[in-house]
Amino acid sequence: MHNRVGCALGHSHYLNLLNLKRSCSYLCLFLIGLILALCHHPVARAQIYNQTEADYLNILWLLIAGSLVFFMNAGFAMLEAGLCQTRNAVNVLAKNLIVFCVSILAFWWLGFGIMFGDGNSFWGQEGFFFQTFNPPFNNYFPAGFEKLATLYPGQSFVGIFFFQLVFAGTAATIVSGAVAERIKFWAFFWFSFCLVGIAYPITGHWVWGPDGWLASQLNFLDFAGSTVVHSVGGTAGLLGTMLLGPRRGWQGYAPNRISKERFSAQPKQFTAYNLTFSTLGCLILWLGWLGFNGGSVKEVTHIPHVMTTTMIAAASGGVFVLMLRGLRRNKPALPLVINGILGGLVGITASSAYVTLGAAMFIGAVSGLCVILVEALLEFYRIDDPVGAVPVHLGCGIWGTLAVGLFVNQLPPYIEQEVNRVGQILAQLVGILSVLALTIVLCLLFWLSIGLILYLVELGNDRLKYSPTVNQPPNNLARANRNKYKSESLIPESPLEWSLKYLKIAREALRVSVEEEMRGSDGTFSPS
């Protein structure tokens, strides 16, 4: 009896010391932040322009268009929740909600400076944490954005940031659908931060930055982001779903079996939660796309043409994917039409200001075909994409960017020089391959690093939880965990063994446990 009381008192003392240590850490961080705030001096303004009535009209439209793009988050949330299983609706909605919160901070702290700050042709090197302590209603371009000021004369600096911010959030939201139903919440959280804060703005600087090498040296064209936004998000999602593996039961997948037998179980039929939600989500995205493409114009008089090409491409994608449905077997028609419409929207994003209405219809039709073919390709290679994010955003994003080279002509003020058709197609191809190569390298590094860090954190938490200093009654779970951590060595014998071991550890750490997957939990949010 005395031993039990002594252990309880020792455990209580240990927890008190741990809480005191955490409180001291938070207090130190607060004091450091307060000192930095008091010592900070606002940076100087870069350039000041006299704004005209036309400038005010452009600023107003930019904010309206950005608000439409922001509303696309509601469309993504409803689309993904509706196409996933009922038990996963809560965690899918939670990730769609929090991803934009993460994107705002990541893009403000790091992304916007890398994408549009002064630097070189590969990335911006200034403008991080911009206007942190500047007075409110300061719309002037701060120091570190001199080149951006010359690129957007008469515009509001914070208005440009707001519009680019909602674009960055869209790239991160694309990943959510591809990895739905089996990724840990915190893995997705930190990957979204890295994607929006580092990978997306670097590629965006190449194409949309004041001196990005793809735009300035190769004349690579991507009007509103078929490659910059959609291909980047689609590639990140493809890597994520390949590392995670399929959902349990998809094509008979059982992750706890050996590699040769993982697809030998009884296949499971996955039922969509609510196709009404998905249809409404598609219509919301369609509406938001009018701001997505329409907000990228240089003059407000070009908005009607851009919106019209966007509408025609979306309609063409939906109609032609339905007419080609014979190429897709055992798939309900409604999700296919939804993805056909979205594929047409992605396809026209790169060229909506540059092409005729007839070309827009053709681009949308081929986008519908791309959705069908890429979905079949993913199933052939047993890559599970629950909502079709990869075919829509990566497949149609690549096609839409190539279509610019096929249909674009000289068009001031967007394209001043006469277009060399072969040269433009090659420039588009080089741009696509360059962006995809960098995205693959960075996102693979992000996914694996996050997985390994999560593994180490969980390992430390479990060792602390089952430490001899903590008086826990022995049970089978505790013994299993202790044996697991004792048997696993973090120092493999050979470089090949080292690589394979850490790859396996990182992949497993990204995915929820079997029990959580069966309950529809992502480790943080549960159905109930």
pLDDT tens column, 195-239? 999 999 999 999 999 899 999 999 999 999 999 999 999 999 999
Query: φ and ψ at 364, to 5 degrees?
Result: -65, -40
Token readout for 451 is: 């997985």
Interatomic CA distance for residues 124 and 246, integer angstroms: 38
* pLDDT, tens digit, 9 for 90 and up, residues 308-356: 999 999 999 999 998 887 655 555 589 999 999 999 999 999 999 999 9
Largest separation between any pair of C-alpha atoms in the chain: 91
Q: What is the per-residue pLDDT for 331?
A: 55
Report the pLDDT value the prediction gives residue 332, as an integer from 0 to 100. 56
Its CATH class, for the domain covering 45-451, is mainly alpha
Task: Write the pLDDT tens digit of every residue in 467-523.
Answer: 555 555 444 434 444 444 444 455 556 777 777 888 889 999 999 998 899 999 998
Q: How far apart are the first and last CA of the chain?
A: 40
pTM: 0.88
pLDDT in the model for residue 204: 97
Please identify which residue in the block is written with the tokens 């529809």. 520
DSSP state of 88: G
Which pLDDT score, from 0 to 100, does residue 527 have?
86
| Rounded-to-integer distance, Cα 149 and Cα 375, Å | 43
C-alpha to C-alpha distance for 6 and 17, rounded to whole angstroms: 17
For the segment 395-402, the average pLDDT, to the nearest whole number, is: 98
Residues of the chain with CATH 1.10.3430.10: 45-451
Looking at residue 9, its pLDDT comes to: 45
Structure-model confidence comparison of residues 268 and 338, the more confident one: 338
User: What DSSP state is assigned to residue 483?
Assistant: H
Percent of the chain with pLDDT over 70: 83
Structure tokens at 281: 């989500």
